[in-house]
Amino acid sequence: MHDAVPTLLEVQNLKKYFPVRRAFLSRLASHVKAVDDVSFSVLQGETFGLVGESGCGKTTTGRAVLRLIEPDSGEVRFDGADLLKLSRTELRRKRRDMQIIFQDPYASLNPRMKIRNIVGEPFIIHKIHTSERDDRVAELLKVVGMDSAAMNRYPHEFSGGQRQRIGIARALALKPKLIVADEPVSALDVSIQAQITELLRELQRKFGMAYLFISHSIPVVEQLSRRIGVMYLGKLVEVGTAEQICWSPKHPYTQALISAVPVPDPGSRTKRIVLRGDVPTPLNPPSGCRFHTRCPIAEERCRKEEPMLRTIGDGRAAACHFAS
């Protein structure tokens, strides 16, 4: 049934390496492979979730897609255009259709600007002259569940949840086709998290934009996503529908990640898969399969041969020699 829905965003072989200087004034010594050959696609109006632990490259992926960070190589096709080949002006025009919501609602709103100007700024940047800009701002605030009286106030007068709503209103201003939501609820208390998640769901129903939803929390990603990609050390290790990923994960890392989620039900204290050791540094990732140092089923082959992300039926894919 999804065959009819066109693809909005297609990311192919995306790479972003950050150079690291070993010592003061020395020559470039190595690179952090933050995003290393990542491919996925997002359909119009769907939510694609990217999940993984700190340092796995999920945020860098989100930003590289928008060219907020310039990727080193790869292809990002968005709405018919190859973003990485666009000039500055062309890119700026395209950015109307792709917006971002940030994790920290305290850092992402300018404390010296009134809400009127924060939410209204996209119109100025994109030279959309509307005589009744204030009306538009008031309307946007209403859409995210806030009173228009908020316009004359400053960010510090609002709680974390309210600020996140303001950030969402700003992202919605130009009616984008894609919103990259980078950990939009991680800084919030659970009761507020639930409100913001519900708001994002409702807005999607109303306006039909797609989300690239980035989070470290599998339960949060599952709530909103139709499909999910799991990242580990700069690579996508598994992609599938939310139900496939959460209920029959095939990659041993996904299995451990899901098993590690504490369940708010004391009746279900089950034996979990506890991974040994720490996540290795992306500065010098392990040879072969990057997960082999912590993998409970690793064999000799995993040390040498890197598994490719390959289709294993039903529209799902996993990067493990043993997944089937």
Partner 1 sequence: MTSSSAILEVRNLRTSFFSSNNEVRAVDDVSFRVEKGKTLGLVGESGSGKSVAAMSILRLIGPPGKVLAGEILFQGRDLHAITERELRSIRGSRISMVFQEPMTALNPVLDVGSQIAEAVLAHPEVSKVSKREAWAHAVQAMRDVAIPDPDKRARDYPHQLSGGMRQRVMIAMALVCRPELLIADEPTTALDVTIQAQILELLADLQKRFGLSMILISHDLGVIAEVAETVAVMNAGKIVETGTVSDIFSSASHPYTQGLLAAVPRLGSSRTRQDLNA
Q: What residue ranges bind partner 1 (CB under 8 A)?
A: 1-2, 45-47, 53-54, 189-191, 193-194, 197, 204-205, 210, 216-220, 222-226, 241-243, 246-247, 256-267, 269, 272, 274-276, 278-279
Nearer CB in complex with partner 1: 137/279: 279
Q: How far is the CB of 127 from partner 1 (least distance, A)?
A: 32
Nearer CB in complex with partner 1: 19/267: 267
Q: Which residues pair with 99 in a beta bridge?
A: 179
Nearer CB in complex with partner 1: 75/160: 160
Nearer CB in complex with partner 1: 120/285: 285
Residue 315 has which token pair? Answer: 């529209």
Q: What secondary structure letter does DSSP report for 69?
A: S
Nearer CB in complex with partner 1: 146/258: 258
Q: How far is the CB of 7 from partner 1 (least distance, A)?
A: 14
Q: Please give the Cα distance from 163 to 168 (Å, whole number).
A: 9
Q: How far is the CB of 190 from partner 1 (least distance, A)?
A: 5
| Residue 52 CB-density burial (10 A; 0-12 exposed, 13-18 middle, 19+ buried) | buried
Q: How far is the CB of 88 from partner 1 (least distance, A)?
A: 32
Q: Please give the Cα distance from 12 to 51 (Å, whole number).
A: 18
Nearer CB in complex with partner 1: 10/139: 10
Q: How far is the CB of 257 from partner 1 (least distance, A)?
A: 6
Q: How far is the CB of 197 from partner 1 (least distance, A)?
A: 7
Q: Please give the Cα distance from 163 to 148 (Å, whole number).
A: 14
| Residue 163 CB-density burial (10 A; 0-12 exposed, 13-18 middle, 19+ buried) | buried
Amino acid at 28: L
Q: How far is the CB of 129 from partner 1 (least distance, A)?
A: 33
Contact (CB, 8 A) for 200 and 152: no
Nearer CB in complex with partner 1: 141/258: 258
Q: Please give the Cα distance from 198 to 275 (Å, whole number).
A: 33
Sheet of 227-232, strands arranged across:
98-101, 178-182, 210-215, 47-51, 227-232, 235-241, 317-318, 310-311
Nearer CB in complex with partner 1: 7/148: 7
Residue 116 has which token pair? Answer: 């009127």
Q: How far is the CB of 46 from partner 1 (least distance, A)?
A: 5
Contact (CB, 8 A) for 220 and 49: no
Nearer CB in complex with partner 1: 26/191: 191
Q: How far is the CB of 217 from partner 1 (least distance, A)?
A: 7
Pairing of strands 7-21, 73-78: antiparallel
Q: Please give the Cα distance from 270 to 259 (Å, whole number).
A: 9
Query: If we measure between CA atoms, which residue out of 232, 213, 237 comes closest to residue 223?
Result: 213
Within 10 angstroms of residue 124's Cβ, the number of other Cβ atoms is 11
